[in-house]
Amino acid sequence: MGDEPQQWDRFWREGDFARRHTTPPEYMPELVTLFRKRRANSILDLGCGTGRVMAYLVSKGFLVVGQDISPLGLGMAQRAMSSASTRNFVLVNHDVTVLPFPDRSFDAVISINAIHHNRLRDIKRAVKEIYRVLSPKGLLFVNLTARAEIRDGEKVERGTYRTRDGTEKGILHHLFTASEIRSTFKDYRILQLTPPSEGKPHWLLLAEKR
């Protein structure tokens, strides 16, 4: 397991991420179109945090399971979802490296600003678990950080740093290279890999279970 639940509880309690980011990322409408085209009705939101992406997907008619390690974040998600006109969602407090779901449980898995907050070995464990819970030809979408300023943190291992201060103090970040992404997700068929650009410090990976 990567970052401890207490660190993420502090992040949600003391930070302003939830207040600053109330709408889903700009690529979500395109993903929704793809999910509908592929008839991906059940979706796992891995590292759902306060539920902004989950709420958007539920509003579009998908069945969504939101998983997160932070009890505080999930509590905020539950309150946010209480006003939804549907109860087409479930919240689960669990570690990403050993998911509590049967094989082939989901048509799609998304992970936004989440999975890279681990050591590489734990990311690889999570990627294998995602593969296990995906249905055949199931879709995976993740973003993976490449923020250069993270290298100012405490180096934990090659490519992994622990932030020294600010709202993300104590939180792990693994900075991916293109070759490392292809190696880590080697069991998947990569459909699209969009590199970071100025103002957009994340790789965007869309893949399919082989």
Digit-coded pLDDT (tens) for 11-61: 999 888 877 777 889 999 999 999 999 999 999 999 999 999 999 999 999
Mind giving me the DSSP string for 141-188? Answer: EEEEE--GGGGGSEEEETTEEE--SSTTTT-EEEPPPHHHHHHHTTTE
Contact assessment for residue 115 and residue 123, using Cβ atoms and an 8 Å cutoff: yes
Sequence-distant (6+) residues with CB within 8 A of 162 are 153, 154, 156, 170, 171, 172, 173
For 68-81, the DSSP string reads ES-HHHHHHHHHHH
Q: Domain residues of the chain, as ranges?
A: 5-144+172-189
Cα diameter, the chain: 46
* 50-71 pLDDT per residue, tens: 999 999 999 999 999 999 999 9
Determine if the pTM surpasses 0.85: yes
Nearest to 133 by CA among 95, 94, 112, 107: 107
Residue type, 30: E
Looking at domain 5-144+172-189, its CATH superfamily turns out to be: Vaccinia Virus protein VP39 (3.40.50.150)
Residue range 83-111, pLDDT digits in tens: 766 789 999 999 999 999 999 999 999 99
